[in-house]
Structure 1
């Protein structure tokens, strides 16, 4: 079986072989996009992801990382036009989670058990309100299961930036869990930033 990079390279002269990547990764991309924008838009985003990848396959650089991370980066960019739907999907998922009283994987990373329905709702609201650059890093890590280098490749940012954004996202969500509301967390986070700047 050819490697992903070999398939991309072969597809430059044999376009039909690119379909093998769809067979390998369509389910993965679909699950990730469904988690973020819901089933209504997931089919379109998934299809468009592979169309864009095919059109840009000549620009893929195997030295920079994996095809899977490249595809997730394309999908993440495409989902930006569905920001409102993403916020609704996150809040809807939180409502279902609260009803079931089951913690979700994305919050396991925080080391916080989310048993209370009110807390789940607050966390979901904060997640939906996170600036996209922080939310993208967090969800690529938690829902797409990408490591730091994979996220860096997907978003075309340095690994150090991935680490700092992921830390910022986690800190904000922890603050919500402790402070009680997204607004309180924003105020508290501002204090933390101010103290950090003062210390420098």
Structure 2
């Protein structure tokens, strides 16, 4: 029985909360959180904002997380929603650039065609044709609705995790997501036929 208790305690020592707690005494321990989640946050930021800004906002988010680790709720074992919340706030600081990028993508008509099977060519052509309207639809969304939509679609967070990340009720997540999906779907109606 003692061995099972010790194994459970050792497993708990690797939770995000345990690592953050340990980092309060030994700041170098926070690198574990970075190693666990930097790639995930970068992928999300890259999809939202592009490579140039993604590096910056992820770095800013981890710096903010490191500085704010003393206020982390140690009752939450998973730090992902907390980190995504910080990242979302950092991205909001770059919102004007993000919106300008979506507008530029909407004006872009660049399509790439490769020698490949017919299905892949068709998929690329359809995706390239829908890129501008999709970017325009994303740019036209209320920033709060866009944050929820992209945290679910690109960040792959659950409704609960989005609610934690943005500090909003789960019902608000649902209504914002529904509204954003409806607007994007309407903008892409012409591409459903292809």
Query: Normalising to structure 1: TM-score of the pair?
Result: 0.74
Distance 1:69 1:117 in 2: 32
Q: How many residues align?
A: 168
Compared with structure 1, are the counterparts of its residues 158 and 65 closer, same or farther at alpha carbon in structure 2 (3 Å cutoff)? farther
Task: Tell me the C-alpha RMSD between the 2 structures.
Answer: 2.6
Report if the CA contact (8 A) 2:41-2:58 is conserved.
yes
Structure 2 gaps of 5+ residues are: 1-10, 114-124
Compared with structure 1, are the counterparts of its residues 131 and 115 closer, same or farther at alpha carbon in structure 2 (3 Å cutoff)? same
Compared with structure 1, are the counterparts of its residues 35 and 88 closer, same or farther at alpha carbon in structure 2 (3 Å cutoff)? farther
Instruction: Give the structure with higher Rg (CA).
Output: 2
Compared with structure 1, are the counterparts of its residues 17 and 81 closer, same or farther at alpha carbon in structure 2 (3 Å cutoff)? same
Of the three residues 120, 138, 143, the one matched with 1:132 is 143
Q: CA deviation at 1:162?
A: 0.4
Asked if residue 15 in structure 1 is aligned to residue 9 in structure 2, the reply is: no
Distance 2:110 2:82 in 1: 34
CA shift digits 1:46-105 (9 cap, x unpaired): 11111100111121114456201111111110111222322344456678897258xxxx
Query: Normalising to structure 2: TM-score of the pair?
Result: 0.76
Asked if residue 31 in structure 1 is aligned to residue 43 in structure 2, the reply is: yes
Distance 1:135 1:5 in 2: 29
Asked if residue 50 in structure 1 is aligned to residue 71 in structure 2, the reply is: no
Asked if residue 40 in structure 1 is aligned to residue 60 in structure 2, the reply is: no
Of the three residues 91, 94, 109, the one matched with 1:82 is 94
Q: CA deviation at 1:137?
A: 0.2
